[in-house]
Structures are given as C-alpha cells and as structure tokens.
Chains A and B, each alone.
Chain A
Amino acid sequence: DSGVTQTPKHLITATGQRVTLRCSPRSGDLSVYWYQQSLDQGLQFLIQYYNGEERAKGNILERFSAQQFPDLHSELNLSSLELGDSALYFCASSAGTLGANVLTFGAGSRLTVL
C-alpha cells in the first residue's frame, strides 16, 4: 500500500457520461498530481495542485477538470466522455516539489468508456 488512495479502481460508463475520480494523498503530502496512461499516449501529465491551488497544467482537455479540497483530497472530473478517454488514471502525491521529492502513485482508476 503506497498510502495514496484512489477510488474507484474500475469504472465502466457510456459515451457522453460524466465521472468523478477521487484521490486521497499520502499523509503529510501537500501536492497532488493527475496522470493519464493510455496505450498510444503513454503517461501524460494532466494537472497538479499544491495545498489547494492549481500549480501546473498539462495536456488536460477542457472536458476535464480537477480540484483539491481543504483536506487535501483531490477529484478529477471527466465529462462528455468519449471512447478515447478510456485509460488508466493515476493520482500521485509528494511532500514538496523540488529535488528528490518522490511522486508516490496510487493504484490507479481504470476507466472504460463504451
């Protein structure tokens, strides 16, 4: 157990639907990162929050949004889902953002869009 908790582990939904993925970071970690892993795109950075504020944005679609709450858990909202959104979505956390601060990953949420 990495200490980063992601729910749900698996999710199957239909095109056009909206889903929410949840992440609880490791205790004490202030930074949360979301990544998307698909076969053709590899591991793509989506977005990062640090202590409740957005710190960096990557290749995140406008249909996707995220936030980090005061208790530091984070949610990734995916709307108007398309077949191509099927992927493994990882949340990771770290204590800081510099140097050797390691990203600790959750087990991932596997999204299947039918």
Chain B
Amino acid sequence: AQKITQTQPGMFVQEKEAVTLDCTYDTSDQSYGLFWYKQPSSGEMIFLIYQGSYDEQNATEGRYSLNFQKARKSANLVISASQLGDSAMYFCAMRAPAGNTGKLIFGQGTTLQVKP
C-alpha cells in the first residue's frame, strides 16, 4: 500500500534562514509523482512543487526545492530564506499510477512557524 510519512508535527525557523521539511514515502510502483502543498491558516491548499520518480534533477520552484533521494524513498522540501508568510501547514503527497486514478495520498502534515 502507498503511504506518506511526515514525522515532524511542528517546526520553527528563524526568518531568512533555510528549513527542511521531511517526507518519506512507501510504494512498490516504479513510476510515481511527489507533490508538496502549503495550507495557510486561511485554509486553502496551494501547490508548491512536483517531482517525478524518473526526474534526474531535483525540482526547484523559486525558494522551494525538493531534495529527492529515491533509494531512501525521501522527498524533503527545502525552503530557503524563510519569510513570515511561509508560516503554514505543509503537506507531502504522492501519486502512483496504479488504476490511473490521479488521486493523491497525503501525509499528516508539518506545521511551520517562522519567527521574526
């Protein structure tokens, strides 16, 4: 069965510093996709970054990068130069193609607080 594990319920980071949010996954599929979403206190889910299992380079989107270690089945999100607006809950999610459904399985999330 597919599973996403985020072991850090809460994290603190100082403004302007970098922070890494951990995500490990479990799947028997060779082809899969990994996603990170941000959920601010307002509640909406905002897509941040995507990594495909066959992508050779780590994905980057502005201040977000994904540290993809396939052998370790980890897909950690790195936020550089943290800003106060980065305070939110962050979810790691996985899509595996089995059944061609497109659904995402989400981890439990990590709450990030950025200190001024």
Residues of A within 8 A of B (CB): 2, 31, 33, 35, 42-43, 45, 48, 50, 55-56, 58, 88, 90, 92, 94, 96-108, 110
Contacts and interface: CB of A to CB of B under 8 A. Distances in A.
Interface of B: 33, 35, 37, 43-47, 50, 52, 91, 97, 99-109
Contacts of A58: 103
A108 B39 CA distance: 12
A55 B100 CA distance: 8
B109 A55 contact: no
Given A88-B43, A99-B52, A107-B44, A55 B101 contact: yes
A2 B45 CA distance: 9
Nearest to B91: A43
B102 A96 contact: yes
28 contacts: A31-B102, A33-B102, A33-B103, A35-B106, A42-B106, A42-B107, A42-B108, A45-B103, A45-B104, A48-B103, A55-B101, A56-B99, A56-B101, A56-B102, A92-B45, A98-B97, A99-B33, A102-B35, A102-B47, A103-B35, A103-B47, A104-B47, A105-B44, A105-B45, A106-B44, A107-B44, A108-B43, A108-B44
Nearest to A45: B103
B45 A97 contact: no
Nearest to A50: B102
A94 B44 contact: no
A48 B50 contact: no
Contacts of B50: 100, 102
Contacts of B37: 105
Given A35-B106, A107-B43, 5 more contacts: A55-B102, A56-B101, A97-B102, A99-B33, A99-B52
Contacts of B46: 105
Contacts of A33: 102-104
Contacts of B109: 42-43
B33 A100 contact: yes
A90 B43 CA distance: 10
Most A CB contacts (10 A, CB to CB) among B37, B44, B103 go to B103
Given A42-B109, A43-B91, A98-B97, A103 B43 contact: no
